[in-house]
Amino acid sequence: MRHVEHVMGTVFSFDVRDPVDATRALEEAVAWLHHVDATFSTYRTDSPVSRLGRGEIALADCPAEVAGVLDLCESAARASRGYFTARPGGRLDPSAMVKGWAIERASLILTRAGAPNHCVNGGGDIQLAGSAAPGRPWRVGVAHPLRPGDLATVVTGTDLAVATSGTAERGPHILDPHTGRPAIELASITLVGASLTMTDAYATAAFAMGGAAREWVEGLDGMEAFAVTSEGGTWNTSGFPAG
């Protein structure tokens, strides 16, 4: 079963590999993504996060999910020595946490509905549940940021989260919070973990770190990385699941 949904300013695709009717679960997952967009979008002036950022309402006036996501942002900021921030440029914007968190929750909706083998892809950030087929792992191609149409590597495995941060689509848009300037040492970095919420957030932090991200990711439990530098070189952590 497959479905494509335009929401949160990008394209989400669902690929369910189980022989079950997942129509109702897909509808619930899609409704969840639209709820997240309405709550967290910084492009909607009436969203709770936009209103909170302007000081029009207090955190207690927001849906409960807002406080939960901001707590996750604080955890990521501490773990990354401040390279992750929910206030890039001084403006409240937890988007770097929200998408991965929303995708992981959408994946959980499908699993709970009896579809444990599926892929949820939101703009290239992916939660892979179970396997692609009995005895066959998922294979995810990672686009090369400097050579359009080419792959930089392929990730292979089961029950994986894959998140990439880079300059290929939006140019140098990730700031180094410590300098306030765009991070330019890497062209892209792909992180692989078990769950997308922190994998996606840490990919943003790792991109801001540049080359220092290699040692940092090596020290994270259950997380691996593959990077393409701005000069076209590559590096990866010791356990990166390339295949």
Half-sphere exposure at residue 111, Cβ-oriented, CA atoms within 13 angstroms: 15
> What tokens were used for 212?
């220092």
* Residue pLDDT, tens place only, 42-75: 999 999 999 999 999 999 999 999 999 999 999 9
Query: Taking the mean position of all CA atoms in its chain, how far away is CA 12?
Result: 12
Angle subtended at Cα 178 by Cα 214 and Cα 58, rounded to the nearest 5 degrees: 115
Least Cα distance to 186 among 83, 81, 79, 104 occurs for 83
Query: What is the pTM for the complete model shown?
Result: 0.94
For residue range 118-129, list pLDDT tens digits in order. Answer: 999 999 999 999
Is 89's pLDDT higher than 90? no
pLDDT tens, residue by residue, 30-41: 999 999 999 999
pLDDT score at 175: 83
- Model confidence over 170-212: pLDDT tens digits? 656 788 888 888 899 999 999 999 999 999 999 999 999 999 9
The helix (H) or strand (E) run that includes residue 32 is helix 23-40
List CB contacts of 78: < 8 A, sequence separation 6 or more.
none
Listed in sequence order, the residues at least 6 apart from 212 whose beta carbon sits closer than 8 Å to its beta carbon are: none
Query: What single DSSP character describes residue 212?
Result: G
